[in-house]
Amino acid sequence: MRPSRSMRIAAGLALAGAAVVGVAQAPAPDAERTLRAGDTELRVSVIGVDDARRRRQLQDWLAEVAHAQLTAFGRYPLHSARVRIEQVDREEARGDESPVPWGQTLRRGDAAVLLFVRDDASLVELRADWTAIHELSHLFHPYLGRDGRWLSEGLASYYQNVLRARAGLLSPERAWELLEAGFGRGRRESSGAPLIELSREHEGTMRVYWAGAAFWLQADVALRRDHASSLDAVLSQYSACCLRGTGEVAPAEFLSELDRLSGTTVFSANYARFVQSREFPSVDGVYRDLGITRRGDALVFGDEGRAAALRRAITAPFTATAGEGMKSAAGTPR
């Protein structure tokens, strides 16, 4: 879910309910599109938009975002999921100037990503926004409840930058800068409360989101550095064996399964260290592993050696084998 937005949650939930129920009037044919990758699909609906050109624009934008999601492991994490896009005007957005003022992933009956787009947002603005890929990234994990909020929002916050870099929507350097900016916001949360408490009580949003992102970054680096694996590879295995679009999984159970699939203790060991932490975790060690140093407020990226290769591998896109990749319902590669 997009954090710290001025649109009120109650208003957002009311809109979400309306989107799930749908409208009595049949949608225009071009308001519905199914994106396919192998045997997985995203069913994308544009709701209540009368302008055919705008419907196509929103569909094409979402297809580009969905392509970024495919850079994790070449297919969508769920066999089938829905995406619903609805427009809001500035008054409904309550002064929120972002192109996508609100988004949420729901798991009622099936998995659905809801995106509320400002009706005057340009395609350039939409392509620069992170909300859609953040919400799609929630489909990589099961619902983890309040105790796992920091894990779920952390994974989406990590992938919202990494996947956009892989898809060419950001430069790799900009992706790392955005992650560092998020870590900076997390460090400024100084309540001293345990991370698990902030997660349960929906407090300390910036530490919850960005400490979570640091958790997944550290796990990804450890898998790549020491185990010839990656976060992508382990989540791909989890998707194939265990991921359901609905239902709740306890955080410890989810991470234990990731350990089993990876043949490591990377996830559970980090969990024990993070969950009771009272301050933002240091990322200095993982930055050294990636050849990243701080110079004032800027990041400096090493160009040579294993560290640079490891860093570049994280933002390198998945390479589909013959016959794989994203296709529209008509079978046309996108």
> Is the pLDDT confidence value at 108 over 90?
no
Burial 165-193 (b: 16+ CB within 10 A, else e): bbbebbebeebbbbbbebbebbbebeeeb
For the entire predicted model, the pTM comes to 0.89
Token representation of residue 33: 């599109």
Phi and psi angles of residue 252, each rounded to the nearest 5 degrees, phi first: -65, -35
The CATH number of 143-318 is which of 1.10.390, 1.10.260, 1.10.10, 1.10.20?
Answer: 1.10.390
pLDDT at site 324:
42
> Is the pLDDT confidence value at 216 over 90?
yes
Distance CA 121, CA 328 (A): 25
Residues 139-186: tens digit of each pLDDT: 999 999 999 999 999 999 999 999 999 999 999 999 999 999 999 999
pLDDT at site 27:
66
Domain boundaries, the chain: 1-140, 143-318
Asked if 211 contacts 154 with a C-beta cutoff of 8 angstroms, the reply is yes
pLDDT at site 91:
74
pLDDT at site 320:
54
Q: How confident is the model at residue 26 (pLDDT cuts 50, 70, 90)?
A: low
Q: How confident is the model at residue 3 (pLDDT cuts 50, 70, 90)?
A: low
Q: How confident is the model at residue 224 (pLDDT cuts 50, 70, 90)?
A: very high
Q: Of all residues in the chain, what percent carry a pLDDT higher than 90?
A: 81
Higher pLDDT, 161 or 334: 161
